[in-house]
Amino acid sequence: MRNRFPGKCYRCGGHVPTGEGHFERPSRRTYEKLELAAIGGRWLIQHADCAIKHRGTNHTYWKKVAANG
Ligand SMILES: [Zn+2]
């Protein structure tokens, strides 16, 4: 579903303008898989490009930030 509000991409951390990404309501499983507890929030937004690029992975920008210290 296309996002109806702008937000921050959970894949790359970049800004996602309205209508240029996808948003989803994560299931409990997704929530745990992505370690969303670390940032909170009930909705996820990602770029359409990032959705394709990272499909099937649990790549998130906050894990990257954590890994880089
Ligand atoms: Zn992105």
What's the whole-model pTM score?
0.79
From residue 44, alpha-carbon distances to 38, 68, 69 in Å are 13, 22, 23
Element (H, E) at 30: helix 28-33
Q: Is the pLDDT of residue 52 over 70?
A: yes
Mean pLDDT of 24-49: 81
Residue 24 and residue 54: Cα distance in Å, rounded? 15
Give residue 45 CA to ligand 1 midpoint distance, Å: 8
Ligand 1 centroid – CA 66 distance (Å)? 17
The CA 22 to ligand 1 mean position distance, Å, reads 10
pLDDT tens for 8-35 read 999 999 999 999 999 888 888 888 888 8
Judged against a pLDDT cut of 60, whether residue 67 lies above it is answered with yes
